[in-house]
């Protein structure tokens, strides 16, 4: 068995093509490859230089490929890829209030901030960073998280030769910023309500803003993946009839 034929069989198995269809397509492709060799055409040239892509398009044209949901795994991969960006965002306010960081950068630029509650008052030093520096750091953190989520999702779905990969990425490129915006606004509202509850001496009935933010972003990624798979399956089922790729 040639390397091209072996790669095509592996791709069909990854796509979940039924075993009987894999056997039939293997025999048909093997015959075509042998005919091509007799005419002086190499196996790689016969499949356009991309055995995996050839196998995917051939199986999809025959209506044999239905993308698997993989919602949980895709959501986990995308969420983990956003951790570096989220860590950078959290590091900005933590560094601004860190005595060690303030002493290392410029102690003269620190300002005193007083906080007063019903339970007493306290004060802390806060590094007075220029607004453009803060916005630049936050923008960099957002870019790292955004690009990381898209690249990790693409690599994960490519590993499985997922036919809904491009659809998932195109939708995620739009829904991820919108979901992050909604998550930020909602988390801010929860955080303010949590602060008011603490001042009034009441125990809040909800969690802090990081938990709210993560829940909304994760829901956005999971919903995007579910919609992409649903759309891809509906498109495949709407095909009038299989179209042969090989003559």
21-39: pLDDT as tens digits: 899 999 999 999 999 999 9
Mean pLDDT of the region 139-153: 92
Determine whether 31 is exposed, middle or buried from the number of CB atoms within 10 Å of its CB (0-12, 13-18, 19+). Answer: exposed
pLDDT at residue 191 is higher than 50: yes
DSSP 121: E
Mean pLDDT of all residues in the chain? 77
Mean pLDDT of the region 118-143: 66
């Amino acid at each position: 068995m040639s390397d091209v034929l072996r790669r095509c069989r592996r791709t069909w198995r990854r796509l979940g093509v039924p075993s009987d269809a894999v056997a039939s397509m293997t025999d048909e492709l093997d015959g075509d490859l042998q005919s091509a060799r007799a005419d002086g055409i190499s196996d790689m040239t016969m499949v356009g230089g991309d055995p995996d892509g050839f196998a995917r398009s051939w199986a999809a044209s025959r209506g044999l490929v239905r993308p698997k949901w993989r919602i949980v795994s895709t959501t986990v991969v995308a969420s983990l890829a956003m951790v570096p960006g989220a860590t950078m965002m959290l590091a900005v306010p933590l560094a601004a209030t860190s005595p060690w960081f303030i002493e290392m950068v410029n102690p003269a630029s620190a300002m005193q901030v007083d906080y007063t509650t019903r339970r007493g008052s306290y004060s802390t030093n806060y590094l007075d960073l220029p607004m453009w520096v803060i916005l630049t750091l936050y923008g960099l953190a957002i870019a790292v998280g955004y690009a990381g989520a898209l690249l990790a999702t693409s690599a994960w779905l490519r590993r499985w030769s997922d036919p809904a990969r491009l659809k998932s990425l195109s939708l995620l490129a739009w829904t991820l910023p919108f979901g992050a915006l909604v998550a930020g606004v909602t988390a801010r509202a929860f955080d303010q309500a949590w602060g008011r509850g603490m001042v009034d001496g009441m125990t809040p009935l909800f969690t802090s803003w990081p938990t709210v933010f993560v829940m909304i972003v994760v829901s956005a990624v999971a919903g995007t993946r579910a919609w992409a798979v649903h759309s891809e399956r509906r498109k495949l089922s709407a095909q009038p009839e299989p179209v042969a790729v090989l003559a």
